[in-house]
Amino acid sequence: NMYKFTRGSIPIVGLGGVSSAADAYAKIRAGASLVQIYTSLIYQGFGLVTQINRQLPELLKRDGFAHLKDAIGVDAKK
C-alpha cells in the first residue's frame, strides 16, 4: 500500500475504475488525494463530474468526516 509506505507524505492519484462517487471515495479512503477519471467520462459524459461532486459530501458526512482531507488514507491506517 503506497499510502502506508509513504505515510501520506506524497500525493497519490487514484485512477482506474472510477465511475461513481462511491468509486472515487474508495480511492480517497485508500490514500488518494487526487482522483482521475477518463473512460467513464467518455461513456457517461461530463455530468459524471457534477454527480461525483454532489454525492461525495454525502458520503463524507455519512462516515463522520467534516472535510475531504480527513478521509484520505483512513482505510490504509487500519
The total domain count for the chain is 1
The range of the structural domain enclosing residue 8 comes to 2-71
pLDDT for the residue numbered 39: 96
d(CA 52, CA 54): 5
In a domain, 7, yes or no: yes
In a domain, 24, yes or no: yes
pLDDT for the residue numbered 11: 96
pLDDT for the residue numbered 77: 83
Stated pTM of the model = 0.92
DSSP structure string for the chain? -HHHHHTT-S--EEESS--SHHHHHHHHHHT-SEEE--HHHHHH-THHHHHHHHHHHHHHHHTT-SSHHHHTTTTTT-
d(CA 37, CA 18): 6
C-alpha cell read off for 37:
477519471
